[in-house]
Homo-oligomer: A and B are copies of this chain.
């Protein structure tokens, strides 16, 4: 058989290097080196404990979680408060529960942006976002049978700067959206079971 040597150009992904404060090699190894081969390691359970303080004020503690085949604990025990504002007769000892949803969305998308940019070799200079949610309280007040309890619309707008063309930066945000846990939760809904020991 005759053979010939030919030269072809194939795209080579840059090897992952730490970037944007992300340990990119560790992220790539975790996903493709470890979890891809042992999918059961991908099963996580996150937990929170909440205690009523007084009025509409309560406090949540977040510490332990399971995943990657074992139990884990955060470096610190995190606590956070929730309350209703004065205009809704609360003591305003913390953000409202619906503001916490906006926080969850923003932190999820932003973490994804940092990881994805790092894997794609893009150095970020700035990522900021603003989230707004419109809600008609006739729902939770029980004053309407047609108005829903939750937000009617949420908008999140990003400003992003980095060493890449705008189109590539927009693609990073879009990929983060497409792989965001919180975006999925709040756009598609999840089953929630409520139980009571009284």
A residues with CB within 8 A of B: 20-23, 26-27, 30-31, 35-36, 39, 42-58, 60, 62, 65, 67-68, 72, 74-76, 78, 80-92, 94-115, 124, 126-144, 147-161, 166-167, 169-170, 173-174, 177, 179-198
Contacts and interface: CB of A to CB of B under 8 A. Distances in A.
A86 B75 contact: yes
B130 A47 contact: yes
B131 A21 contact: no
A45 to B, nearest CB: 5
A53 B126 CA distance: 9
Given A158-B195, A160-B198, A110 B182 contact: no
Contacts of A97: 104-105, 107-108, 111, 181-182
Given A44-B135, A90-B111, A95-B78, A130 B49 contact: yes
Interface on chain A toward B: helix, strand, loop, or mixed SS?
mixed
B102 A84 contact: no
A14 to B, nearest CB: 18
Contact of A186 (B56, B60, B186): B186
Contacts of A197: 157-160
A83 to B, nearest CB: 7
